[in-house]
Chain A
Amino acid sequence: MLKKGDLFLIAAIVGIVALSYVGMQLVGLAKGDVHRIAVIKKEDKEIKRIDLDTVEAPYKITLSGAYNEVILVEKGRIRFDEADCPDKVCVKTGWLSKRGDAAVCIPDRTMIKIEGNSGEVDSVTF
């Protein structure tokens, strides 16, 4: 039942995924001394920036709005811990720890993403 085009299509998609995965790893690894900054946004507004590398003890942030979310911050990583939105995609995304990682709560328009240190040059050397 499979035809040539099907196999080509599957191969192409797998290739794209593999490439993007490698790319994300490179972005995450590049310049290991750069601090990872977690940016929390709600309804297009940035509400908090956390330097994940300087977090000492774990703590929680509670956001309220149309839905409520609890964000858990630990040294080097951050996640949506609880949410009362219907789909809970944000919670299932799990821990974010690498640059370029992101978790999104669409119903509430809330997201966490991890950036490198702002203000420093974002150059990548191989």
Chain B
Amino acid sequence: MKNVKHLVFLAVLVAQAMVLSVIESWLPVPQVIPGVKLGLANIITLVVLVFFGFRDALIVVFVRCFLASVFSGGILGFAFSISGGILSTIVMALIYLRFKKSFSLLGISIAGAVAHNIGQLGAASFVMKELAVMSYLPILLISGIIMGCFVGLCSGLLVQSLKKTNYFKLENRG
């Protein structure tokens, strides 16, 4: 961590991600389908990725998953959220840094949501020692597209407004 300002920004973003997760748990909407979540915290991951880069996004995701499991999930919950979170951050960073020209934040967010679901199901099949867990994948892929669209739109708007402020210096990283 180079300076205090940077550290504080990341801490605030982690806090916001956690608040978003709490708000998300109040929303009754996506409860119809098993295991489907909106993934609002991914908005923060995307914003960190855009303004601070891959390394800080990973740190934010890790800290968020750790804190969330301290407050509610437990060790098993941590294993799931971290495997989904890390995989989705890697995928989103790869697309954002390498293929920015052909993908908007919407597509990056969809890829992230889908990667998150794949990571979680991977962890689940590992815990259960049973590949049949993957039968949840199709429904989670479709929901990943829908939720990813929503999260991508929100992130796009947020990034646009944040760029107008001068709080974040874009020239640090691509």
User: Which residues of A line the B interface, CB within 8 A?
Assistant: 1-6, 9-10, 13-14, 16-17, 20-21, 24, 41, 44, 87, 89-90, 92-93, 100-102, 104, 106-107, 109, 111, 113
Contact = CB atoms under 8 A, between A and B. Distances in A.
B138 A109 contact: no
B3 interface: no
Contact of A106 (B80, B132, B156): B80
Contact of A107 (B76, B110, B135, B137): B76
Given A5-B102, A44-B129, A13 B141 contact: yes
Interface in B128-157: 128-130, 132-133, 135-138, 141-142, 144-145, 156
A4 B133 CA distance: 33
A24 B128 CA distance: 21
Contacts of A14: 142, 145
Contact of B138 (A1, A3, A17): A17
B13 interface: no
Contacts of A6: 103-104, 106-107, 110
Interface of B: 31-35, 76, 80, 95, 99, 101-104, 106-107, 110-111, 114, 124, 127-130, 132-133, 135-138, 141-142, 144-145, 156
A24 B134 CA distance: 12
Contacts, number: 90
B145 A13 contact: yes
**Top 3 A-B pairs, shortest CB-CB distance:** A6-B107, A5-B102, A5-B103
A113 B130 contact: yes
11 contacts: A1-B104, A6-B110, A9-B103, A9-B111, A10-B107, A44-B128, A44-B129, A100-B132, A102-B132, A106-B124, A106-B128
Nearest to B73: A86
Contact of B137 (A2, A9, A10, A20): A20
A1 B136 contact: no
A122 to B, nearest CB: 15
B142 A1 contact: no
A16 B129 contact: no
B50 to A, nearest CB: 15
Contacts of B80: 106
